[in-house]
Amino acid sequence: MRVLIAEDLALLRDGLVRMLEAHGMEVVAALEEGTALADRLVELRPDVAVVDVRLPPGFTDEGLRAAVLARREVPGLPVLILSQYVEQVYASELLSDRTGGVGYLLKDRVGDVRDFVEAVRRVAAGGTVMDPEVIAQILGGGRQHDRLSPLTPREREVLAVMAEGRSNAAIAERLVVTEKAVSKHINNILAKLDLPPSDDDHRRVLAVLTYLDEGARP
């Protein structure tokens, strides 16, 4: 798997390189600023990019902007965004093209090597991985919207854990139910959201994106 990293902190950048290479990935570039990031993403077309939101020279949203621009040129280019804090507007913008292959994690999650590497792989495979804190803020305030209204409270719980990129087994463990029950809930969710026929993984991603998009509405 070919990975591009964009992170200005040298210690974290070098740590990411070593971590991913230790898990059999090839780091094709490790950038420390955002000026040429969009061009490099389009040129190299990595299997996944791990990108800090804020990069030099401005330390505002250079990483995110570059990722969004690159995904316009290369639709579905997998990008996992790292951020120091939950910034809801950035998460919502990343999800706006609704093609999957996106992730948004807080930098604290990098310390859990197994989960972080799994998140990188899931995004590279076209999945969607959201930090639990990001989900909580996007969906804060208990907003309700029409598309989600048919879902039961338990189905919403299942969908929230799905948004973290968890497998059926992990969802079952989190919610203390059987995998069979989780599978049934997911089938109900897909049916109630009236998602178009496609492979199961893609429909799962569409369900997560619908959930996050509805929660992000004012």
Residue 60 backbone zone (phi > 0: left; psi -120 to 50: alpha; other: beta):
alpha
Give the pLDDT of residue 134: 76
Residue 218, pLDDT above cutoff 70: no
Q: Average model confidence (pLDDT) for the chain?
A: 87
Integer Cα distance of 155 and 146 in angstroms? 15
Q: Among 25-39, 117-131, 142-156, where is mean pLDDT lowest?
A: 142-156
pTM over 0.85: no
Residue 131, pLDDT above cutoff 70: yes
**Which domains does the chain possess?**
2-131 (3.40.50.2300), 139-216 (1.10.10.10)
Integer Cα distance of 186 and 178 in angstroms? 13
Placement of tokens 């996106």 in the chain? 102
Per-residue model confidence as pLDDT tens digits over 107-122: 988 888 998 999 999 9
Q: What is the CA radius of gyration of the chain?
A: 17
Residue 83, pLDDT above cutoff 70: yes
Helix, strand, or coil (residue 196): coil
